[in-house]
């Protein structure tokens, strides 16, 4: 039986209590049985919560995380690999997008600093 309250589970997982409840509603975390009216969580719940948070940080959606959790139980490495590869492609596309945005902003910043006789190009670019 677990020994953690939902508040302590949330703290160990680095999330709020409402986030834990949300993950439970989404089926990502199980709701434990009550012990004298209080739900108690264990180390497995902490591990699962941390997995969810890490997978989110890697860019996986909650739907994909749910699939990864079910794949772990089935040992389906082929599907897990495919999900990871798709996430890598999406991250690479985002990197290209961010590099382009950075280059545009750097160009505007240079133009802004170099010419004081016209309106600031940064402000003009975002007004268009």
Averaged over successive runs of 10 residues, the pLDDT of the chain (128 residues) comes to: 88 96 96 86 95 94 93 82 94 96 91 78 79
As a whole number of Å, the end-to-end CA separation of the chain is 60
Question: Distance between CA atoms of 23 and 98, rounded to whole angstroms?
Answer: 30
The answer to whether residues 40 and 1 touch, using CB atoms and an 8 Å cutoff, is yes
CB atoms within 10 A of CB 116: 7
The answer to whether residues 52 and 28 touch, using CB atoms and an 8 Å cutoff, is yes
Domain ranges of the chain: 1-60, 76-128
The CATH number assigned to the domain with range 1-60 reads 1.10.1660.10
Task: List residues bridging with 34 in a β-sheet.
Answer: 39
**Token pair for 76:** 């389906």
* H-helix segments, the chain: 6-13, 17-25, 43-57, 62-74, 77-114, 121-127
pLDDT for the residue numbered 57: 93
- CA dihedral over 105, 57, 9, 39, signed as positive or negative: positive
**Token pair for 22:** 């949300």
Residue whose tokens read 């703290």: 11
pLDDT for the residue numbered 106: 92
pLDDT for the residue numbered 1: 59
pTM: 0.75
């Amino acid at each position: 039986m677990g020994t953690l309250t939902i508040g302590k589970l949330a703290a160990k997982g680095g999330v709020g209590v409402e986030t834990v409840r949300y993950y439970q509603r989404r089926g990502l975390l199980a709701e434990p049985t009550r012990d004298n009216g209080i739900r108690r969580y264990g180390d497995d719940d902490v591990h699962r919560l941390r997995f969810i948070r890490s997978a989110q940080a890697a860019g996986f959606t909650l739907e994909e995380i749910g699939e990864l959790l079910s794949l772990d139980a089935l040992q389906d490495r082929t599907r897990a690999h495919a999900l990871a590869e798709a996430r890598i492609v999406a991250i690479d596309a985002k990197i290209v997008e961010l590099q382009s945005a950075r280059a545009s902003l750097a160009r505007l910043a240079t133009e802004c600093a170099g010419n004081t006789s016209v309106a600031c190009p940064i402000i003009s670019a975002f007004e268009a």
